[in-house]
Structure 1
Amino acid sequence: MNTALPALLVEAFAAGPCTGNGAAVVLLDQPLGDGWLQGIARSLNQSETAFLLEQQGQWCLRWFTPTCEVPLCGHGTLAALLALGHWGLLQPGQSCQLLSRSGPLEATLGDSACTGQIVLPSGGLIPAEASSGLAGLLEARLGAGPEAYWRSELGYRVALLPPGSPLEALACLAGELEPQDRGGLILMLDCGDTPKELRPTVLGQPADYQLRFFAPGLGIAEDAVTGSAHALVAPFWLNHHGRSSVVGWQCSHRPGGMVCELASSGMIRLSGTGHLLWNGTLHGQSDGSGADSWASLLAAG
């Protein structure tokens, strides 16, 4: 069948155009199959494309990279929230639950159309040992190896770098990562040695830490601004700084950031802004099959 569906692109965790992380959002009017969803994500060629579907009065949300479906995507969730506001399906200040493969995610539209809060699971950092290959690569590229290294249930690996490491100037590492790090490698460091007036700001607050994220195993050489990565490492930085909120900055080629707080559920609340880049209608063909894969979200919620 032919489809004509509302679609837009939001540059998430960004205050203006050409920064932050672009996510396409498509509003479905029926459950469509995984092959169709993957094909659209491949054609739109964003780090993630988010698909929204209302079922039984609840919003279901799925995310696809150009090569696969992922269980969690922070910037795609913020983009979906802001899309609902743009389409008039959510009002300023209104909250909703987005049912996903990572469970129900709370989201609240801000007072303006370009701000919002999302709550993501964090998991935990499990101490591990960096491979000699990664340690040597970082030593060669940055002049220092990792001070600490962790794995996580999300599949991401995390390396803490010494303060002052030239993370922003680092060339993309995707092609040189070993298999254990290809599913998502976070490189992070403290901003404490940089005067506050020289740090980037998010919602008027200076950054406390910065990171970069490489995930060639997910079809993403480097992600611009990664909400799931910040949600994972935020508890470390909240404890490190002894505060109830911290500001994370991602110093990628399209930089952006977010304010991170511990939610009452034990999950992490991320606050950020987004910029609507384009808005239109997506045309395609689908056989309409896909109810089973969407029904699982309702069952989990």
Structure 2
Amino acid sequence: MSDGTLPAVLITAFAERPLQGNGAAVVALKQPAPAAWMQAVAGLLRQSETAFLLPLSRLEPGTEPAGEWALRWFTPRCEVPLCGHATLASALALGHWGLLARGASIRLHSRSGPLLVSLSESAAGRAQLVLPSAGLEPSPLPAELDRLLGVTPVCGWRSALGYWVALLPPEFDLAGLDGHSLAQELRGEVRQGLVLMQALAASGHSPTVQGFPADYQLRFLAPGLGISEDPVTGSAHALVAPWWCDQLRRERVVGWQPSPQGGGMVCERLSSGMIRLLGSGQLLWDGRLRAGFEAGEAEDWSCCLPGPG
């Protein structure tokens, strides 16, 4: 039996100020943990996602522990293949633990492949990560959305992530939406992830992220994943940022999420087709997790091993 004492932090990611952004717990493992144990921990911590980091050397002998890490994410209900805010939080946690220096970059290996993260050299609490963008496929939206929203979306899409995306007219009060109530009314596949987005008027009154005014805003509902509303969603911004880049004819756009907690990020489209997200985070608490598991219970973590080449 392990002693059950593991470093753990809670970081609010994509937060421009304290008590803003999206909370993510980050736990540093000493050995591969079983999925059932990680799911139980995530269920008790009740954050949108809890991230579990494991030195890659525990999976691939000869890999330096400080060099690369395996990373998995769990909502209170299930494991997910990609999570932006908990990846940002993981980078900041590694910096807090002295395992990632300012200005340095490392790869975190996940079910979605290797994700490059780095800490800002000039500003504490800032980091960036590179996420894949699944691409949007035009698609009719479920007819129920017109009734639930009280407005007809301008257009809609689906994505390989399983998210539905709806572009709403500018007059819709997205910031005033009761996301929790709407999430409870969703039915069918749309419960796995619904992005509601709209342009922000260039009026000078837009929220700012790292000093840049936001170009668009979105809300993200995912009751099928155990999250009525995710406060700030990196994977959703990585998904829609290329569309906004095309609309605005720029390679950098700023997204805002007007959930009750609020937060945002700067999104840069890279030549590879990946999206770089720049954001800030706030350390909320720092402690030790006391919950053991039998070493023999650990499942196969090969999903996080680097591929050939």
Answer yes or no: same fold by TM over 0.5.
yes
Q: Is the CA contact (8 Å cut-off) linking 1:134 and 1:178 kept in structure 2?
A: no
Match status 1:279 vs 2:286: yes
Instruction: Out of 118-127 and 55-64, give the one that drifted further.
Output: 55-64
- The corresponding residue for 1:183 is 192
User: TM-score, structure 1 length as denominator?
Assistant: 0.95
RMSD: 1.2
CA offsets, 1:37-80, max 9 Å, x none?
Answer: 11111111100000000022320000000110000000000000
**Compared with structure 1, are the counterparts of its residues 245 and 290 closer, same or farther at alpha carbon in structure 2 (3 Å cutoff)?**
farther
- The corresponding residue for 1:219 is 226
Match status 1:206 vs 2:205: no
CA deviation after TM superposition for structure 1 residue 134, in Å: 1.1
> Within 2, Cα distance between the matches of 1:258 and 1:55?
28
Match of 2:266 among 259, 263, 268: 259
- The corresponding residue for 2:93 is 83
Unmatched 5+ stretches in structure 2 = 58-63
Q: Is the CA contact (8 Å cut-off) linking 1:211 and 1:251 kept in structure 2?
A: yes
Q: Is the CA contact (8 Å cut-off) linking 2:14 and 2:22 kept in structure 1?
A: yes
- The corresponding residue for 2:60 is none
- The corresponding residue for 2:118 is 108
Match of 2:136 among 119, 125, 130: 125
Unmatched 5+ stretches in structure 1 = none
- Pairs aligned (count): 295
- The corresponding residue for 1:54 is 55
| SS of residue in 1 equivalent to 2:42 | helix
State the one-letter code of the partner of 1:175.
Answer: Q
**Compared with structure 1, are the counterparts of its residues 250 and 272 closer, same or farther at alpha carbon in structure 2 (3 Å cutoff)?**
same
> Within 1, Cα distance between the matches of 2:118 and 2:297?
28
State the one-letter code of the partner of 2:222.
Answer: A
Q: Is the CA contact (8 Å cut-off) linking 1:32 and 1:289 kept in structure 2?
A: no
CA deviation after TM superposition for structure 1 residue 266, in Å: 1.2
- The corresponding residue for 2:103 is 93
CA deviation after TM superposition for structure 1 residue 132, in Å: 1.5
> Within 1, Cα distance between the matches of 2:43 and 2:281?
22
- The corresponding residue for 1:6 is 7
| SS of residue in 2 equivalent to 1:85 | helix
User: TM-score, structure 2 length as denominator?
Assistant: 0.93
State the one-letter code of the partner of 1:26.
Answer: V
Q: Is the CA contact (8 Å cut-off) linking 1:61 and 1:98 kept in structure 2?
A: yes
- The corresponding residue for 1:38 is 39
> Within 2, Cα distance between the matches of 1:157 and 1:293?
31
Match of 1:165 among 168, 172, 175: 172
CA offsets, 1:72-101, max 9 Å, x none?
Answer: 000000000000001010000000000000
> Within 1, Cα distance between the matches of 2:296 and 2:159?
34
Q: Which runs of 4+ in 1 moved over 3 A?
A: 289-292
Match status 1:240 vs 2:247: yes
| SS of residue in 2 equivalent to 1:165 | coil
> Within 1, Cα distance between the matches of 2:173 and 2:283?
31
- The corresponding residue for 2:61 is none
CA offsets, 1:219-251, max 9 Å, x none?
Answer: 000000000000000000000000110000000
| SS of residue in 2 equivalent to 1:145 | coil
- The corresponding residue for 1:268 is 275
| SS of residue in 1 equivalent to 2:244 | helix
> Within 2, Cα distance between the matches of 1:240 and 1:291?
47
CA deviation after TM superposition for structure 1 residue 113, in Å: 3.0
**Compared with structure 1, are the counterparts of its residues 264 and 108 closer, same or farther at alpha carbon in structure 2 (3 Å cutoff)?**
farther
| SS of residue in 1 equivalent to 2:71 | strand
**Compared with structure 1, are the counterparts of its residues 287 and 97 closer, same or farther at alpha carbon in structure 2 (3 Å cutoff)?**
same
Match status 1:174 vs 2:183: yes
Identity %: 56
Match status 1:195 vs 2:197: no
